[in-house]
Structure 1
């Protein structure tokens, strides 16, 4: 079976999502650990600011059993109780494939049409490939997903307008300040999310942008592209002192500052906007207790994008038609792959039994009787094979329930022993 366990901005608030956020090292370690279980063959882990999803292939195990295995590893890693499992969604078989294709087509994103999810899924798959936790099935699945996402974007205009949460963050800045281009801006983090922020601020005419990042070379490179400047990461507080807009988008397990640590470094601006795009959160919520400070996190940005969503809903039906077609193509391949060995096992086993029994019959009967028996044996064999294959497809949901296929393989492998 193919399955997904995940949570997103639709199923859980940021304070829950951050408990299950995984960096690359954690994702790699957890995937390898899960693949040590005898029922789990392949794993890809996708962890972004808006979602954590585990895609897996399991054999010789029912859906509920596979989900329990994955939850066991996940809860142990996050050191949380089972109560939080209610925030997760679970998909198996066709529903799992459809979900991935919807995610990569941005139909499940906070901003319909955003493109950042494509590179995030590519990175998740590439990491799994490097770590050796993917095989033929998930490789085929993710390649088909990328093909689907590309087709959706080329056949719709869904990616025009707001491209990401970063775009929405800039829109909030524009609403907050009348003269946005004159404001001093500090960007903490030079990754992909950070670059999208600075790119959209630059389009708004902002030139007074300072970038800080744990890797100085990345900060220098990003600031140079958009006529900004940099400060060393360990001098971040001096940048906070000057800034009226502070945008943070780094990977961290704990907030990089809170009300107590940041208060001495504020210079008295009547209004300071802090935008936290990190999951886990980069900025402690208690900063809002300070005068003039407003704080926005990724969940707060949903209000900004609501207007754009309405305009793009008309395009969703087109995207869903494409997704439905691509899901069918993948399932045809998967079902054929799953059923083919079992079908061959049925044909081989029953044909062998027929041949062996005919050989015994031939020793004790004349040729005329043997020829009649041979015809009858062929008829019975074909009828039995067709009936078995029909029942196999039915009980295995046309190849989706691999645990049933395994039972059939085991049964027929014993016939000629």
Structure 2
């Protein structure tokens, strides 16, 4: 029986943020890898675990979906397995390797691409190698990804296609405050969008961010670094906050009521940047006449997103064909490797006859194929065909080998 790769993909609910029960941290990933290594059924494996997704790739003769599921649940210490919509197993080798390479280089099936994950893939591969779970197939696959990465840098270069409002705001601030040392940032109104912006800013190294809201309860879910990176101010102190901070980000839908224009009429020491992300507010139209305030609204943000999308659309047209071309080289290699192993199996069913004519008898044949004597090449053809049919019945790997082609090549060679 010949093995094959299978890929198990888990959803970790990044967008609805209801549950991260199946996100594996480093220690949990290590525990799962050690568990897979202890199974004799698995020859090679690779685990990519990110907050937004988990990809478990393994090479085996057997379908181990249920068993791996249980191992993941054991690592997390939960008894309830995810529902069907939260995971998927792919046994089509070409399809799964295309998925992984597109994920790695940000060229998934969209018009604009996704964020490249090559650094995360590199860490996952190194970890699998340290765990002793890399064999000849995954080693060749990784060499192919490295050469693909090099080719993309030479011919396409990377873009970072984060088109969400929270990412665009973070990037915009970085561009606006390049020459400002330690800018003071305030977020006014704290909803789901504000939280994502706060996290992105914290991850980019911005510290001591002021959060303004009606109640501090909206901030109580923070942990670790996020918990120590903000100062809370009640909404009735917002006028002071405006005076003390350089960058003001508002998500208040009733900003016109809570942020009257006279709050911005003071003689500030420095120019203020005001970003209004509400849908209904019209405050930026008033502030555009103020010399000491640079206003941005959702329309401005969407224009930036459109520009980035067009840039990435052009990048994707360059990058995706390069990834496809490199994928094909790997598929050709694995096809040849599988074909060699298959031919080895065929030869194991055949042996030389007493006349030293090669490949003339099937080892497992218990009865004559006919009652009349055949010339050697006809007899060989029948025996070889029967051997291939036997292998075809007993192998799971049926989609990589063209059996008629094997027969033709065998007789051309001999």
Q: Specify the TM-score bucket, using the shorter chain as the normaliser.
A: 0.5 to 0.7
Quote the offset at 1:264 in angstroms.
Answer: 10
1:3 to 2, 6, 10: 6
1:172 counterpart = 2:164 = no
1:86 counterpart = 2:88 = no
CA distance in 2, matches of 1:179, 1:328: 43
CA distance in 2, matches of 1:183, 1:8: 37
Contact 1:392 1:398 (8 Å CA) reproduced: no
CA distance in 1, matches of 2:318, 2:84: 33
What's the TM-score, normalizing by structure 1? 0.57
> How has the CA–CA distance of structure 1 residues 317 and 384 changed in structure 2, closer, same or farther, with 3 Å as cutoff?
farther
Report SS of the residue matched to 1:19.
coil
Alignment-derived partner of residue 223 in structure 1? none
How does 1:298-313 map onto structure 2 within 5 Å? 308-313=308-313
2:204 to 197, 210, 216: 197
Report SS of the residue matched to 2:24.
coil
Quote the offset at 1:149 in angstroms.
Answer: 3.3
How does 1:18-417 map onto structure 2 within 5 Å? 18-59=20-61, 61=62, 65-78=63-76, 79-92=78-91, 93-108=93-108, 112=113, 114-115=115-116, 117-157=117-157, 159-160=158-159, 162=160, 169=166, 171-173=168-170, 181=180, 183-184=183-184, 197-198=204-205, 209-210=206-207, 239=208, 243=210, 255-256=222-223, 266-268=232-234, 270=238, 308-352=308-352, 354-355=353-354, 376-385=375-384, 388-389=387-388, 396-399=397-400
CA distance in 1, matches of 2:176, 2:152: 37
Contact 2:151 2:322 (8 Å CA) reproduced: yes
> How has the CA–CA distance of structure 1 residues 386 and 122 changed in structure 2, closer, same or farther, with 3 Å as cutoff?
same
CA distance in 2, matches of 1:351, 1:82: 50
Contact 2:161 2:308 (8 Å CA) reproduced: no
Contact 2:106 2:113 (8 Å CA) reproduced: yes
Quote the offset at 1:97 in angstroms.
Answer: 0.8
Quote the offset at 1:258 in angstroms.
Answer: 12
CA distance in 2, matches of 1:128, 1:263: 35
CA distance in 1, matches of 2:35, 2:248: 38
Aligned length: 301
> Structure 1 stretches of 5 or more lacking a match?
187-192, 199-208, 211-238, 246-253, 276-290, 296-301, 360-372, 402-417
Quote the offset at 1:255 in angstroms.
Answer: 4.5
CA distance in 2, matches of 1:53, 1:45: 6
Contact 2:46 2:58 (8 Å CA) reproduced: yes
- Structure of larger gyration radius: 2
CA distance in 2, matches of 1:90, 1:355: 50
Quote the offset at 1:133 in angstroms.
Answer: 2.0
Q: What whole-Å deviation, never above 9, does each CA across 1:261-305 have from its counterpart, x for those lacking one?
A: 789952457379999xxxxxxxxxxxxxxx99x99xxxxxx9885
> How has the CA–CA distance of structure 1 residues 323 and 274 changed in structure 2, closer, same or farther, with 3 Å as cutoff?
farther
> How has the CA–CA distance of structure 1 residues 98 and 155 changed in structure 2, closer, same or farther, with 3 Å as cutoff?
same
Contact 1:17 1:51 (8 Å CA) reproduced: no
What's the TM-score, normalizing by structure 2? 0.57
Quote the offset at 1:120 in angstroms.
Answer: 0.9
**Structure 1 stretch displaced more, 133-142 or 385-394:** 385-394
Contact 2:161 2:309 (8 Å CA) reproduced: no
